Amino acid sequence: MRIETADSGRTASGGLFQISELAQQPSIERALSAVRELLGMDIAYATEFADGNQVFRFIEGEPISFGFSTGHALPLDQTYCQKILEGRLSNLIPDVRADERASALSITEAANVGAFASVPLRFSDGRLFGTLCAASHDRKPNLGYRDLQFLLVFARMVADQLEREQLERSVQSLELQATAAGALIAAVESRDAYTGEHSQRVAEQAVAIALRLGLDESQVMDVRHVALIHDIGKLAMPDTILNKPGPLTDAEWEQVRLHPIAGETLIKALPGLAHLAAAVRAEHERWDGGGYPDGLAGEQIPLASRITFVCDAYEAMVSDRSYRRALPLPLARERLAEGSGSQFCPTAARALLDILAG
């Protein structure tokens, strides 16, 4: 028995062959080409939902006749896809102009849409990336259940490929960040061994807090790198200040307060770490707004900065310096608790105190 798809000249067995072939050599472009052919549509495309828009990321067919191209964005509230996800339209619309709700959308006339199909693209963790769609200028009265099943299978393939590529980019980005951070730490240690060792200890504590707060892998890595490079701006400070054995003068403190800005400037120039520049700049901001250089307060301060700040302060308190002895551990913890909600983010301070308590 033959089971027909939208195009009466194509069979379900042909669709299964396409799926089998695609599974052996997966690609988004091949999947879209198969969708277009199996459903007999003029165009097939994958979109991403971003900032309230539907962005066309991959297209197979001739999009010019529909009035869009790769990278084109439409407000979500003007799309069939949003209505489909809300349950207000069917996944398959064989005759768009005969559907009162679909025909009312401006895209119907603007793009001359006769038939439309759409299913969501979801990653393995349930996150919605966007949609897999197919459209035609003509009606497709034979669009039916079998076509929807094929479309869902191809959507799974496309989503898997998108997720795999996203993961690969993430890994490459993390590797680039690690390389850049390592080079910066080496530069700091070559000039000031204390600062380099201190940053390593701060990073260990900061990662422990990030994990305790349930941050995801990329956020934990960002916290680690901010902690490692939070004092990178000190490379711009004179040795007379950086290595001064006694207390600093008011004028010298003014120079010290500029090092987060110098750090931000340096980090902005590094592609692997540029997204952390604002967090590096804000690492000495206080929860109550009394920090520097911008007087940020509360959640205006990036979370990575707040975590690093409390770890930075604690490690400074329990370390010997040339001009003072380290505080006893119980006293340092007491001062952390006293500063929670004023100097330190209470969430970050509580997490560190819990970690220190074992």
CA dihedral of 55, 56, 57, 60, whole degrees rounded to 10: 170
| Average pLDDT score over the chain | 85
Position 295, amino acid = G
Q: Is the pLDDT of residue 1 over 60?
A: no
Catalytic residue selected from 83, 140, 234, 268: 234
pLDDT mean over 286-300: 96
Tell me, what's the pLDDT at 3? 36
- What share of the chain has pLDDT > 70, as a percent? 83
| Position 83 confidence tier, pLDDT thresholds 50, 70, 90 | very high
Which residues have CB under 8 Å from 91's CB, separation 6+? 84, 117, 118, 119, 148, 151
For residue range 31-47, list pLDDT tens digits in order: 898 889 889 999 999 99
Instruction: Say which range, 114-123, 290-299, 323-332, has the weakest mean pLDDT.
Output: 323-332
Q: CATH code for 192-356? A: 1.10.3210.10
Q: Is 244 one of the annotated active-site residues of the chain?
A: no
Q: In the prediction, which pLDDT does 245 show?
A: 74
pLDDT at 14 exceeding the cut of 60: no
Residue 27's pLDDT is 79
Give the bridge partners for 50, in sequence order. 53
Per-residue pLDDT at 190 = 56
Q: How do the domains of the chain map onto residue ranges?
A: 12-165, 192-356
pLDDT at 279 over 90: yes
- The answer to whether residue 314 scores a pLDDT higher than 90 is yes
Q: What pLDDT score does 20 carry?
A: 47
Per residue in 233-250, pLDDT (tens digit) is: 877 777 777 677 777 888
pLDDT on residue 267: 85
Q: How confident is the model at residue 185, as a pLDDT?
A: 64
Identify whether the C-beta of residue 224 lies closer than 8 Å to the C-beta of residue 206: yes
Per-residue confidence band for 187, with pLDDT thresholds at 50, 70 and 90: low
Q: What is the pLDDT of residues 130-167, one digit of tens each?
A: 999 999 999 999 999 888 988 888 898 889 888 888 77
Into which CATH architecture does domain 12-165 fall? 2-Layer Sandwich (3.30)
Q: pLDDT at position 146, please?
A: 85
pLDDT at 229 (0 to 100): 85
